[in-house]
Structure 1
Amino acid sequence: MAERRVKVGSSVGLHARPANLFVTAAKEQGVKVRIGTADGERGPVDAASILSVMGLGVKSGEEVVLTSSDDEQGEAAVAALAELLEQDLDAS
């Protein structure tokens, strides 16, 4: 199992545009990835579902956990998505 913890860099958290960019990237990974809050109170949910991701209510600076049960492609997928989440996706 691939797993990565990351702090959300977007100033608005995972809402609207940042969530859409994240979900689009998750769909492109070719493996199923899940996202949940690091405290375990919300999620994990399907990272490719905009409603599920926005429903987490993740705020700026909050730590999330990305997981994939696919070991080979999963590690690359969670690494790519973690790198994306660290950026302020609302700034561009």
Structure 2
Amino acid sequence: MELKQPLYAQIKQLLTQRICAGEWSAAEALPSEWELAEQMSVSQGTVRKALTELVGEGVLYRQQGRGDVHCGGSERLGGWSSADPGVV
């Protein structure tokens, strides 16, 4: 039996893939939680939980008035790159 990942974990993985693909450069702010939720057709709370985990892992940092910002460097993503298998 295959267990499905929780939705926030799927969103976290999607955001990680988009970061690795270079959609946002280092020190660039990501779209707001509301915009990401709209893009992905999920609730803002789901996006918030995914972003909070990425902040906890050091992939993003939060800056007052600016939002969630990409720290840069694939080492923060566990060595993921857009060339890794399974990364879109």
Tell me whether the two structures share a fold, i.e. TM-score over 0.5.
no
Question: Higher strand fraction: Structure 1 or Structure 2?
Answer: 1
TM-score w.r.t. length of structure 2: 0.35
For CA contacts below 8 A with separation 6 or more, give which structure has more relative contact order: 1
Question: Higher helix fraction: Structure 1 or Structure 2?
Answer: 2
- Structure with higher Rg: it is 2
